[in-house]
C-alpha cells in the first residue's frame, strides 16, 4: 500500500488528523474461531461523518494526556484503554520514543454506536503521532500496527470502500463509482461489540445450526453488492445490503426495529443496523432524499437524532500541522 497519510518528513509542534466513521454495507459473519474472533466478509464504507484528533508535543516525562470534546465526550474513556492512547503508546514503543503527547479528540462519531468511532480515533492517533514525531512510517507498517490495535482500525486508515477478510483486518480496496447518500440514526446508549457477536452465536445455537467455525461456512462478498458499488447504483446497493449481526443487535435492542421501519416508510431505499449497532443506517436516492429521511426519522421519535451524510471519503489524513 503506497498511499500517503499526509505525513511529511520532520517533526511538527501540532498535527490535526481527520478520520471517517464507517458503515458495513455487507457484514457476513462466519463461525466463532478458537481465538475468540469470527471470520468475516466485511465490506467497509467510509462516510463523511468523522472525528478529528489533534496531537501536540507534551513536556518531557508528561506521558500521554487525553482530552475529548463533543456531545458524547462524557462516554469516552480518557485512560490508557482508549484506542488513541494505545495507538500513541504502540507507535512510541516501536520507535523507542517516550510518548509525551497531548491528544485531543473532537468527537462526532457516536460512541459504541457500530460506526467504529474508537477504532477511528486509534487510526487518527497513529497518523497524528507519526507526523508529530516526524517518523514517516510507510502505510503498510501503519496498517500492521493498526491491526494490532483492533479489527476495524486498519480500515479507518485506508478509507474509501474495502473488503475486510479474516477478522476484518485483511483489506482489499474496492472500486466505487460516484457518491452514495446515507442517513445515520443514533440511539441512546451503545451496544458492546463482543456482546453482539456473543448474541449472534447464541441465536445460531438456538436455531440448531451451531456457531463454531466448523459449523458455519466462511462468508463471501456478494457479487451483486460489489457490482452495485462499482456501478454507483444506489437502488442495486440497497437491495444487496446485509448484516449478519442485525438479528443479534435487534434481539438485544428490540426498539431498533421501529427506527428501521420509520426510515423505510420515509422513503429510504434500504435500511440496516450499522455494524454491531445500535446506530441504524439508511441509504437514500440522492442528497435531497437523505435530508427528507433524516427529518422524518427525527420527527418519528424512534431515535435520538438522525443525520444525512455522504461517502465514500478517504481514510485518516493530516488536515493541519
Q: Toward ligand C5P, which CB reaches closer, 270 or 278? A: 278
Q: Toward ligand C5P, which CB reaches closer, 87 or 259? A: 87
Q: What's the DSSP call for residue 137?
A: -
Closest separation between CB of residue 37 and ligand C5P, Å?
Answer: 4
The stretch near ligand C5P (CB under 6 A) out of 32-40, 48-56, 86-94, 267-275 is 32-40
Using rule CB under 6 A, residue 40 touches ligand C5P:
yes
Q: Toward ligand C5P, which CB reaches closer, 193 or 309? A: 193
Closest separation between CB of residue 166 and ligand C5P, Å?
Answer: 7
Go through 206-236 and write b for each residue having 16 or more CB atoms within 10 A of its CB, e for each that does not.
eeeeebebeebeebebbeebbebbeeebbeb
Q: 486509534: which residue's cell?
A: 122
User: Which of 10, 13, 34, 36 lies at the binding interface for ligand C5P (CB under 6 A)?
Assistant: 36
**Rounded-to-integer distance, Cα 96 and Cα 90, Å:** 10
User: Which of 16, 24, 137, 151 lies at the binding interface for ligand C5P (CB under 6 A)?
Assistant: 151
Q: Which of 22, 39, 51, 201 is an active site residue? A: 22
Q: Which of 121, 152, 201, 244 is an active site residue? A: 152
Q: Toward ligand C5P, which CB reaches closer, 150 or 263? A: 150
Closest separation between CB of residue 263 and ligand C5P, Å?
Answer: 26
- Asked if residue 117 belongs to a known ligand binding site, the reply is yes
The yes-or-no answer on residue 152 being catalytic is yes
Q: 467455525: which residue's cell?
A: 213
Using rule CB under 6 A, residue 86 touches ligand C5P:
no
The yes-or-no answer on residue 121 being catalytic is no
DSSP secondary structure, 224-272, as one string = HHHHHHHHT-HHHHHHH-EETTHHHHHHH-TTHHHHHHHHHHTT-SEEE
Using rule CB under 6 A, residue 243 touches ligand C5P:
no
User: Which of 38, 54, 107, 307 lies at the binding interface for ligand C5P (CB under 6 A)?
Assistant: 38
The stretch near ligand C5P (CB under 6 A) out of 36-44, 49-57, 252-260, 262-270 is 36-44
Assigned C-alpha cell, 292? 427528507
Instruction: Answer whether 54's CB lies under 8 Å from 272's CB.
Output: no
Instruction: For helices 83-95 and 139-149, give the axis angle rounded to 10 degrees.
Output: 130
**Rounded-to-integer distance, Cα 301 and Cα 180, Å:** 25
- Asked if residue 289 belongs to a known ligand binding site, the reply is no
**Rounded-to-integer distance, Cα 33 and Cα 43, Å:** 20
Closest separation between CB of residue 31 and ligand C5P, Å?
Answer: 10
Number of helices (H), then strands (E), in the chain: 10, 12
Q: What's the DSSP call for residue 35?
A: T
Instruction: Answer whether 49's CB lies under 8 Å from 159's CB.
Output: no
Using rule CB under 6 A, residue 37 touches ligand C5P:
yes
Q: Toward ligand C5P, which CB reaches closer, 196 or 293? A: 196
Tell me the sheet residues that pair with 27.
42, 243
Sheet of strand 305-311: strand arrangement: 270-273, 280-284, 180-186, 305-311
Question: CA 1, 50, 52: angle at the middle one, nearest 5?
Answer: 85
Q: What's the DSSP call for residue 73?
A: G
- Taking residues 158 to 197 in sequence order and writing x for each that binds ligand C5P by CB under 6 A, - otherwise, the string is ---------xx------------------------xx--x
Applying CB under 6 A, the residues found at the interface with ligand C5P are 36-38, 40, 150-152, 167-168, 193-194, 197
Sequence ranges of the binding site for ATP: 110-120
Report the catalytic residues.
Answer: 22, 152
In the annotated binding site, the residues are 110-120
Amino acid at each position: 500500500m503506497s498511499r500517503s497519510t499526509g505525513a511529511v518528513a520532520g517533526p511538527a509542534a501540532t498535527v490535526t488528523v481527520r478520520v471517517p466513521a464507517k458503515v458495513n454495507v455487507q457484514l457476513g459473519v462466519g463461525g466463532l474461531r478458537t481465538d475468540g474472533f469470527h471470520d468475516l466478509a466485511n465490506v467497509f464504507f467510509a462516510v463523511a461523518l468523522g472525528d478529528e484528533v489533534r496531537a501536540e508535543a507534551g513536556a518531557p516525562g508528561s506521558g500521554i494526556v487525553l482530552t475529548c470534546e463533543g456531545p458524547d465526550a462524557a462516554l469516552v474513556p480518557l485512560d490508557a484503554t482508549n484506542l488513541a492512547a494505545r495507538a500513541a503508546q504502540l507507535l512510541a514503543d516501536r520507535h523507542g520514543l517516550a510518548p509525551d503527547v497531548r491528544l485531543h479528540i473532537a468527537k462526532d462519531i457516536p460512541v459504541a454506536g457500530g460506526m467504529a468511532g474508537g477504532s477511528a480515533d486509534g487510526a487518527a492517533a497513529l497518523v497524528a503521532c507519526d507526523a508529530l514525531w516526524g517518523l514517516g512510517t510507510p502505510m503498510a507498517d501503519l496498517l500492521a500496527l493498526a491491526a494490532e490495535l483492533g479489527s476495524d482500525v486498519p480500515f479507518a486508515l485506508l478509507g474509501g470502500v474495502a473488503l475486510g477478510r479474516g477478522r476484518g483486518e485483511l483489506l482489499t480496496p474496492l472500486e466505487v463509482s460516484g457518491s452514495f447518500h446515507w442517513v445515520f440514526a443514533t440511539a441512546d446508549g451503545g451496544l458492546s461489540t463482543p456482546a453482539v457477536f456473543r448474541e449472534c452465536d447464541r441465536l445460531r445455537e438456538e436455531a440448531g445450526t451451531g456457531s463454531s467455525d466448523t459449523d458455519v461456512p466462511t462468508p463471501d462478498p456478494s457479487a451483486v453488492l460489489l457490482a452495485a458499488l462499482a456501478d454507483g447504483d444506489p437502488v442495486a446497493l440497497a437491495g444487496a445490503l446485509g448484516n449478519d449481526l442485525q438479528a443479534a443487535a435487534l434481539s438485544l435492542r428490540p426498539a431498533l426495529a421501529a427506527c428501521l421501519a420509520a426510515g423505510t416508510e420515509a422513503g429510504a431505499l434500504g435500511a440496516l443496523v450499522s455494524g454491531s449497532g445500535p446506530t441504524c443506517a439508511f441509504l437514500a436516492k440522492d442528497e435531497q432524499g437523505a435530508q427528507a429521511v433524516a427529518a422524518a426519522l427525527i420527527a418519528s421519535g424512534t431515535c435520538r437524532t438522525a443525520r444525512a451524510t455522504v461517502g465514500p471519503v478517504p481514510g485518516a489524513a493530516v488536515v493541519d500541522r
